[in-house]
Amino acid sequence: MIPVTKPFLPPQEEYQKYLEGIWKRNWLTNMGPLASQLEMELKDRLKVNHLLFVTNGTVAIQMALKALDIKGEVITTPFSFVATTSCIFWEGCTPVFVDIDPKSLNIDPAKIEEAITENTTAILATHVYGNPCDVEAIDHIARKHNLKVIYDAAHAFGVNVNGKSIFSYGDISTCSLHATKLYHSIEGGLMITKDPDLLKKIASVRNFGIASFDTFSNLGINGKNSEFHAAMGLANLPYIDKIHHKRKSLAELYDKRLLNVLKATRPVWHKESHENYAYYPIIAESEELLIKLKTELDKQQIFTRRYFYPSLASSLPYLPKLELSITEDISKRVLCLPLYYDLTFEEVEYISRVILRIQNN
């Protein structure tokens, strides 16, 4: 069996060393020394001003909305994981979908301004598959209309654009450190901001809004993470370059075997950025071809994922149905192929041969 993804795990003895320290200190959660160490090491690696380690990527978006006091309408993308939209609705705001760019698969800035009303307070955009949005255009629109910007950068660990971290853009950027991600802490998330005052507020929100032992500063939630998760994050961090290099080589082999013969294209990456190879999505020329590929690959125990299908604008039971033509079309034709550190080059060769055989039969 070849799964669509598989978590990277460091040598067990390296993780065990961190566990020994946890047992000695008996400090398991509530932002212990390992969680604090992870924050500092990630801040240095990513070259960002302020960073917080939180429970997961979903809670990170919820806390970002809360910390920025977002109300009313939030313009967002229908082509993302459901958490992007559900967090907006969960926080009592109204998601307003606009269509995506057919090449990058990110939210189309040209359509954002058309959707702004007197009730619009923020833009929540996803860097789909880690591919940077048009951050300059979005930030220009936000400044013009006095809107807050949150970037869902769940897939974008390690991505730079215009020579700096993708996390540097917007009022707050969030990232997922879930086990399926390029870099993970089993469960976890990050919140990044340039504003030191906003950082203090997010830190308070993360800890129930507690200001001191007997006072509260604002509404909060339990957004903290444990020492065990931080330990995995620390144990994995030294391997991130090795992980990136292997995934890059695997993706390049897929490119070599498929791109000129498969009836499919790949998303166009931001011209001022480089891929982090978090995913390997293909856009089939038709939904019929996609279904044929996925069905037959499943029979061969090669598992893929229609990531993201269906469109959030037309499929969520708690929101009115809205059909956006580009998103509807793209979501029916995107398929993510297996890509992870332990995947072998021989397996990529095999997957590619099977895909081409299915297409040509």
Amino acid at 28: L
Position 6 in a domain: no
CB neighbours of 193 closer than 8 A, spacing ≥ 6? 49, 50, 171, 172, 173, 199, 202
Instruction: Kindly report whether the global pTM for this prediction surpasses the value 0.85.
Output: yes
Position 155 in a domain: yes
What pLDDT sits at residue 213? 78
Does the pLDDT value for residue 212 go beyond 90? Answer: no
Q: What is the residue range of 275's domain? A: 240-360
Does the pLDDT value for residue 168 go beyond 80? Answer: yes
Q: Tell whether 169 and 179 lie within a shared domain.
A: yes
Position 262 in a domain: yes
Q: Tell whether 315 and 257 lie within a shared domain.
A: yes
Q: Tell whether 256 and 121 lie within a shared domain.
A: no
- Number of structural domains the chain divides into: 2
The position carrying tokens 């939030």 is 74
Give the residue-averaged pLDDT of 325-349: 98
Q: pLDDT band for position 16 (50/70/90)?
A: very high
Does the pLDDT value for residue 323 go beyond 80? Answer: yes
Position 7 in a domain: no
What pLDDT sits at residue 187? 98
CA 187 vs. chain centroid, Å, equals 13
Burial code (b: 16+ CB inside 10 Å, e: under 16) for 150-187 equals bbbbbbbbbbbbeeebbbbbbbbbbbbbbbebbbbbbb
Give the residue-averaged pLDDT of 282-309: 98
Q: Tell whether 110 and 45 lie within a shared domain.
A: yes
Q: Tell whether 272 and 170 lie within a shared domain.
A: no
Q: Tell whether 124 and 231 lie within a shared domain.
A: yes
Q: Tell whether 124 and 247 lie within a shared domain.
A: no
Does the pLDDT value for residue 247 go beyond 90? Answer: yes
Q: Tell whether 73 and 188 lie within a shared domain.
A: yes
Q: pLDDT band for position 11 (50/70/90)?
A: very high
Show which of 221, 238, 255 is a domain's final residue: 238
Looking at every residue in the chain, the average pLDDT score rounds to 97
Q: Tell whether 207 and 272 lie within a shared domain.
A: no
What pLDDT sits at residue 215? 87
Rounded distance, CA 203 to CA 200, Å?
5
Rounded distance, CA 332 to CA 311, Å?
8
Q: pLDDT band for position 211 (50/70/90)?
A: confident
- Tokens linked to 233: 């994050």
Position 5 in a domain: no
Rounded distance, CA 130 to CA 279, Å?
8
For 58-114, the pLDDT digits (tens) are 999 999 999 999 999 999 999 999 999 999 999 999 999 999 999 999 999 999 999
Position 299 in a domain: yes
Q: pLDDT band for position 307 (50/70/90)?
A: very high
Give the residue-averaged pLDDT of 296-310: 97
Q: Tell whether 205 and 271 lie within a shared domain.
A: no
Show which of 209, 238, 267 is a domain's final residue: 238
What stretches of 77-220 adopt beta strand conformation (E)?
Answer: 94-97, 120-126, 148-152, 160-161, 164-165, 172-176, 189-193, 210-212, 215-216
Show which of 219, 238, 257 is a domain's final residue: 238
Position 1 in a domain: no
The count of C-alpha atoms lying within 13 angstroms of the C-alpha of 272, restricted to the half-sphere facing its C-beta, is 11
Q: What is the CATH number of the domain that holds 297?
A: 3.90.1150.10
CB neighbours of 194 closer than 8 A, spacing ≥ 6? 49, 50, 168
In terms of Cα–Cα distance, which of 305, 298, 297, 301 is closest to 352?
297
Q: Tell whether 122 and 230 lie within a shared domain.
A: yes
Position 2 in a domain: no
Q: What is the CATH number of the domain that holds 186?
A: 3.40.640.10
Q: Tell whether 143 and 19 lie within a shared domain.
A: yes
